[in-house]
Structure 1
Amino acid sequence: MDTDHPAATPADTPAERPPAIAPDAKDWTWVLEARCPECGFAASDVDPQGIGGTVRDLVPRWVAALHREDARERPAPDVWSPLEYGAHVRDVMRVFDERVRLMLEQDDPLFANWDQDATAQEDRYDLQDPGVVADELSASAEATALRFDAVAGAQWERTGRRSNGSLFTVRTLGQYFLHDVVHHLHDVRA
């Protein structure tokens, strides 16, 4: 269990949890080929050597969203709050940092599955402290940015795979990753 957020109290029963969000079962890899109609992001336009800088540029928007008075409020019962999206993006940073590390150190690694919806429930994103999440997101973003900054030359074409068979290069994984970070800024209107 993550010790950086308050532990559940005895009064914290499953009935007090916010409604579960319907799991996102879409395969978002299509964003590598087409502009996202929701957020406008075009992954194919991303210069891979600029990924680290772009990640750093996006952090202040996330920090601002997490410091809003409404950071804990869901806009609808079935839509995450800025806090929940921020905790998710923090974890996305960590997962993709690890995936890039694997791709650079191993030949064509198979990525461990990550159930983002189960993580949100198990780690109680809704109960985490927005200020702590902002700090953790900033630190995770810097680590991930440094990882992408260190990629050079032919390393951009090293491969890795998800268990569903989706194949990525370090370049396409970075482009795919940036869409997630940008798209969720769109979701929280930041």
Structure 2
Amino acid sequence: MDTDHHPEATAVAAPPAIDPDTKDWTWVLQARCPECGFAASDVDPAGIGGTVRDLVPRWVAALHRADARERPAADVWSPLEYGAHVRDVLRLFDERVRLMLDQDDPLFANWDQDATALADRYDLQDPAVVAEELAASAEGTAGTFDAVAVEQWDRTGRRSNGSVFTVRTLGQYFLHDVVHHLHDVDA
């Protein structure tokens, strides 16, 4: 962790641990999410970039709320922690789409979202800074999806657990994450 950005990180105890999310969320590509209502089959891949941009103001507003640092329960992330996670999801999926466009069937590096949240002390980050970083990351990721040519939507990439995605299904899967966490923070 870069303590220059988070000098207080060494002085403040970590928040209570949250049970790691071990679900394989790829099922959202076949069925509507019962929690947030997202349906991947409704997503026009050519509109992913625009949808990402449309969601940014809701994230920025959630991160500017007075309760942005407060967990609704000890074992549930705060809006700040969810916002930092979504910022990192935006960055990760931008990287993964670029890999899929530049390489044939790349294997994605593992990413432990729960370990990242603890190591980077999402709970101690500045909500206003996270809002700015999320907006910038959203613009970059949206631009990457906007630039996908029609013939590139079926290019593939793989997670280490064997899940295979096309650029299309990766975009739909990714978009669920951004939408679902808005639901989690009531934004």
Q: Name the TM tier (shorter chain).
A: over 0.9
Structure 1 residues 125-140: aligned runs within 5 Å: 125-140=122-137
Instruction: Identify which of 79, 82, 100 aligns with 1:82.
Output: 79
User: Residue 48 of structure 1 corresponds to which residue in structure 2?
Assistant: 45
What is the CA-CA distance between 1:2 and the residue it aligns to? 4.5
Encode CA deviations 1:73-131: one digit per residue, 9 max, x unaligned.
00000000000000000000000000000000000000000000000000000000000
Structure 2 distance, partners of 1:17, 1:30, is 32
Encode CA deviations 1:21-40: one digit per residue, 9 max, x unaligned.
10000000000000000000
TM-score, structure 2 normalization: 0.97
Q: Secondary structure at the match of 1:157?
A: coil
Gaps of 5+ in 2: none
User: Residue 170 of structure 1 corresponds to which residue in structure 2?
Assistant: 167
Residue identity (%):
84
Is 1:23 aligned to residue 20 of structure 2? yes
User: Residue 189 of structure 1 corresponds to which residue in structure 2?
Assistant: 186
Structure 1 distance, partners of 2:107, 2:69, is 35
Structure 2 distance, partners of 1:187, 1:31, is 16
Structure 1 residues 5-24: aligned runs within 5 Å: 5-8=5-8, 11-12=11-12, 16-24=13-21
Contact 1:5-1:127 at 8 Å conserved across structures: no
Q: Secondary structure at the match of 2:69?
A: coil
Structure 2 distance, partners of 1:107, 1:27, is 24
**How many aligned residue pairs are there?**
187
User: Residue 147 of structure 1 corresponds to which residue in structure 2?
Assistant: 144
Give the aligned CA root-mean-square deviation in angstroms.
1.1
What is the CA-CA distance between 1:7 and the residue it aligns to? 2.2
Gaps of 5+ in 1: none
Q: Secondary structure at the match of 2:8?
A: coil
What is the one-letter code of the residue matched to 1:11? A
User: Residue 96 of structure 2 corresponds to which residue in structure 1?
Assistant: 99
Contact 2:80-2:123 at 8 Å conserved across structures: yes
TM-score, structure 1 normalization: 0.96
The alpha-carbon distance between structure 1 residues 29 and 71, as it changes in their structure 2 partners (threshold 3 A), is same
What is the CA-CA distance between 1:153 and the residue it aligns to? 1.2
Structure 1 distance, partners of 2:80, 2:172, is 24
Is 1:119 aligned to residue 116 of structure 2? yes
What is the CA-CA distance between 1:4 and the residue it aligns to? 7.4
The alpha-carbon distance between structure 1 residues 85 and 162, as it changes in their structure 2 partners (threshold 3 A), is same
